[in-house]
Structures are given as structure tokens and as C-alpha cells.
Chain A
Amino acid sequence: MSDATLVDLQRRRAFRAPTNEAPWLRVLLTLGVVGVLALLLFAPLIVVFVDALAQGAGAALASLANPDAESAIWLTLTVTAIVLPLNAAFGIAAAWAITKFDFRGKAFLITLIDLPFSVSPVVAGLCLVLLFGSNSLIGGWLVASGYPIIFALPGIVLATLFVTFPFVARELIPVMIEQGRAEEEAALTLGAGGWRVFFTVTLPNIRWALLYGVLLCNARAMGEFGAVAVVSGKIRGQTATMPITIEMLYNEYLSVAAFSMAALLALLALVTLTLKTLLEWRYADQLAANHRH
């Protein structure tokens, strides 16, 4: 190799595009953030499964087959099955009203919809207790008529609805703003009725965004703890959801049972993340702009 090309080679190695950081800094930063994530995200996730299987898979499965555990799983599924359709219906209605019409107070309405994200779940539960608890006006009357809300299923549903309230609407509004009204207007001029326009034009355009919102809503609904803890009364076998059961088992030092239930929910979280990532890769163009990586 001639001297000239050797010098050339050295120079090229020294050259760094002006938009890059120094190589040592890149390596350091990458290792740094991956290290922090390993300690904060990956380690806890692994611990859940390790502790669940501490006495073997048999013990873990047996703890889930216990009647109280089964009733908790059943309750969580019931609550989610009620909350998801309600939340989806609300999200679609709100997004339709907000993106297809111009009216005064729109910004205020959006602020109100987002409000639950800035309220502590415990405070949300507290609000429901104050409104529907047996010593409140409405609550007293409802309990006397045999329809208790607090310490019963309706309270858990309301609390879950509160904390998951903005999920679907927040996902749909930006997507529907971006898509505009032209397609719906075209369908109307062709003589289609309102419902027909919605099912044949709007819904196909927003289905993946809707699924994305419902997915996030589902994860939060099945895992909500703070708000439900306040309103459920934690009656074993009756108003104890899966997360509440985890707390009770943990406080009774039944580690394998607590972590087995936790592992079940962690699996759900992993499925949620996988589906969410798949949606982001596959249908990025049909989701809200900030999910497009």
C-alpha cells in the first residue's frame, strides 16, 4: 500500500459526519440507556416470572385454580367486557362530534375528556365514593332500593371507565382530523344515509386506530388498581379484581400465588405490547401521527 493511500485511510477514519456524536459518546450513551432500562424495565418483568415459578409450574397453576383466584379472574374479565364497548362507543361519538362539526367550546370539551389523565386514580375513586357512597344523597337512596354502587360491580365499572376514559377518543381525534370530511361528504352527495356513511366510509378508515385505542384501554382496564381499590371494598370472592387479589395475597406473604396472578397479567401486558408494536409497524399510516416511528 502506498503512503498516499495510507494517509487517506487514516483521514477517513478520523472523519465524522457533522451530525454525529463522537463514537465513544455514542457507545457510552447507548450502553447507559440500555443499562437503565435493564434495571427498571426488564429486571422487574423477569422477577415476576421467576418468583411465580419459584416452587415449580405446578404450584403456580394450582394457586390460579383456587376459587377466589378464579372469581377474581372472572370479575376482571366481566368488568373489562363492560368497559371496552362503552369506552369505544363514547370514543367514537366524541371523535365524531369533535372532528365533523364546528361548535363553540370545542377546546373546553377536549380538555374535559383529557381530565382523567391528570387526576389521581385514588382521587377518582374518592369522587365516586362521595357521590354514590351509602352516606351520600344518591348513594343512600340507591342502597335502600337495593342497587348499591360502591363496594359492588357498578362502582368498579365506573372507576375503570373513569381512568380509561380518554384512551379511544384521544387515539381517534387526530386520525379523524387528518382524514378530513371530504370522503363522508362525497358519500352523502351520493345519497347514503348517516349510519351507512359511518359504517361504509368512516369506520373502515379508523378501524386500526380504534383497535389501537381499545388495546391500550384494555390493558389499563384489566390492570387498574388505585381507583378500584377505593371503590371495591376488597371482598374476597366478590369484589376483588385480579390486581386487588395480588395485593391481598402479597400482604399475606403468599408469594407464589401473588406472583402467579401477576405473571398472568404480565403475559397480558406482553401480548398488548406485541399487538401494539405490530399495529405500529403494519398500519403506521392509519394511526395518529405520533406513533409513526
Chain B
Amino acid sequence: MSRALLHPSPMPGFGLAMGVTLTMLSLVVILPIGALLWKGAAFGPLEVWRVINTERSFAALFLSFRVALLAALFNLVFGCLLAWVLVRYRFPGRRLIDAAVDLPFALPTAVAGIALTALYAPNGAIGSLARELGMKIAYTETGILIALIFVGLPFVTRTVQPVIEEIEKEVEEASATLGATRAYTLRRVVVPMLAPAALTGFALALARSVGEYGSVIFIAGNIPLVTEIAPLLIVIRLEEFDYNGAAAIGIAMLFISFSMLLAINAVQIWSRRRIGYV
């Protein structure tokens, strides 16, 4: 690419379009995030660490990232299976289910939260069944896991589906003519082809689950040190007018999220380069 800031173009409206874009971007995204980072810079990394390094903050952050990772991993596997079934198999109700996969995008998180709680609470339809088996779902880490699986459900399916549609049938046939069993073909040919898209979906699901608040707080029970997620702790600190405490946890969340996304991005660039196509 040349060093020119803007290539000459006959197209009109660059000034207006860029002006609107940058104004909105600054006002809505850059300035607010800048305010948080400024706050962090003002009291320095040591102070941030001191605030986070309390048992309660640490437990909340650890819980948020650990359960989000588990939920995203579940969605990685389940999303690929679901995409495979939706693209490759024909069964009654398939199109309805295909459309329903996006429900977590469309359903407000607070609605999902109270509905999941009503369902999985010890007196709920599924929760009471679980209780008879000696399990407790709502108000435990399992409940948080279910809520996070719910909000991250569509991501992997929706990124992987178009890739499965584009796999040439001949590539799978070639594998079979070379003597490979179906299982070997799936493992060595199909899964590697889906991997980059699946990883993108995984990253999106993870980012969403880590920061999720609405669907979790109803089902979590919110017991400090046990089922209190990091976003909730931010809300609690704000309600106590402890802005520094809230900001420190917010910065930690931003920092960890971005590091994870960067790592996933790097893996993806590496795998794309290795496979040799874009």
C-alpha cells in the first residue's frame, strides 16, 4: 500500500461520511473507554493490582473467566455439531430450528435470565427433576454455566454453517477413495477445514460470555466468593460509590479480554498462513 493518507477518488462525500463516523465513534466509544483507561493510568498499575488482589475481586474475576471459558468450549463443540446437523441432515422442523438458533440474539438478557431461573430453580420444571437426582442447578456455578451457554449459543453455529456449506463433497469422497474410514475423514479433513471459522465463533462467544450480566445475575445466587461474577461486583462497587474499585475491576476485565482475543487472533493468522488461503 502506498503511503498516501487518502487515495484520490471520484467518489463524493468522504468528508461528511468520515466526519459522522469519527464524531459518533469518539462520543460513544473512544471517549468513554478513554475515561476508564485514564482513570487506570491516573492511579497506576500497582494501585489497580492492589484493588483487584482482594479475595473477593479475585474470586469474581476468576469465576467469570473460568465459567465463560467452559461455556465457550461447550459452544465450540456443540455449535459445530449443530451446524453440521442443520447443513447436512434433513428432518422435519429443520428450518424452524435453524431460525430459532438466533433466539439468544433476539431475546433480551433479562428475559432469558428470569426464564432460565424459573426453569432451573429447585421448584422449577427442570430444577425439580434435578433435585430428585440430588443436583442443584440454579444458584450454583452450574446455573451460571447454563446462562452463559445460552447467550453464546449462536456464535459458533453461525460462523461454521457457511463453511460447511462450501466444503466440496469431492474432498470427502477423495478421502474415502484413499481408504480412509468416515471417522478418519471427519477428523483429518473436515475438522481442520472448520477450525478457523470455529475459532472465530469461539472468540465471539467467549467475549460475549465473559461480560454477560443480565442473564446471569438472576440464576447465579450472587454469593460473594462463590457465585458472584465480575460484572456484578462492578455494579455493587458503583452502588457503593467506590468508583476506583469499580474502575480497577473494569480495567482488569478489559485487559484480560483483549489479551485473550489477541491470542486467538494470532492463532488464527498462524493457521490461515499455514493453510495458505485467505
Residues of chain A touching chain B, judged by Cβ–Cβ distance below 8 Å, are 18-22, 26, 29-30, 32-34, 36-37, 39-45, 47-48, 51, 86, 89-90, 93-94, 96-97, 100-104, 109, 112-113, 115-124, 126-131, 133, 135-136, 158, 161-162, 165, 181, 184-185, 188, 193-194, 197-198, 216, 219-220, 222-226, 229-230, 242-244, 246-247, 250, 258-259, 262, 265-266, 269-270, 272-274, 276-277, 289-290, 292-293
Contact = CB atoms under 8 A, between A and B. Distances in A.
Among A44, A117, A127, A136, the most chain B Cβ lie within 10 Å of the Cβ of: A44
Contacts of B125: 43, 47
A222 B108 contact: yes
5 contacts: A90-B25, A130-B39, A184-B11, A258-B114, A265-B108
A153 to B, nearest CB: 15
Given A19-B172, A100-B9, A112-B25, A123 B14 contact: no
B253 A223 contact: no
A249 B93 CA distance: 36
Among B17, B25, B212, the most chain A Cβ lie within 10 Å of the Cβ of: B17
Nearest to A166: B29
The 5 closest A-B pairs by CB, nearest first: A120-B211, A223-B108, A194-B12, A225-B214, A226-B213
Contacts of A165: 28-29
B238 interface: yes
Interface stretch (B49-57, B94-102, B267-275): B94-102
Contacts, number: 289
B99 A277 contact: yes
A104 B4 contact: yes
B contact patch SS: helix
Nearest to B176: A18
Contacts of B150: 40-41, 44
B238 A230 contact: yes
Contacts of B253: 120, 123
Contacts of A39: 126
B231 A276 contact: no
Among B35, B106, B126, B231, the most chain A Cβ lie within 10 Å of the Cβ of: B106
Interface in B204-241: 204, 207-208, 210-214, 218, 231-232, 234-235, 238
B103 A181 contact: no
Contacts of B277: none
Interface string B71-103: 000000010011011100101010001111111
B243 to A, nearest CB: 7
A131 B32 contact: yes
Contacts of A131: 31-32, 35
B29 A120 contact: no
A98 to B, nearest CB: 8
Given A93-B16, A118-B257, A247 B118 contact: no
Contact of A126 (B78, B169, B250): B250
Interface string B132-164: 000000000000001001100100001101100
Given A100-B11, A118-B207, A22 B16 contact: no
Contact of B30 (A103, A112, A193): A112
Contacts of B86: 293
Contact of B231 (A45, A117, A226): A226
A162 B7 CA distance: 31
Nearest to A100: B11
Given A44-B119, A93-B16, A273 B102 contact: yes
Contact of A44 (B115, B207, B214, B232): B115
A247 B14 contact: no
A33 B78 contact: yes
Given A194-B12, A258-B114, A230 B119 contact: no
Given A118-B257, A122-B231, A269-B103, 18 more contacts: A18-B176, A29-B81, A29-B84, A33-B81, A47-B115, A47-B118, A101-B14, A119-B254, A126-B250, A130-B36, A158-B32, A162-B28, A162-B29, A226-B212, A226-B213, A229-B214, A247-B218, A269-B107
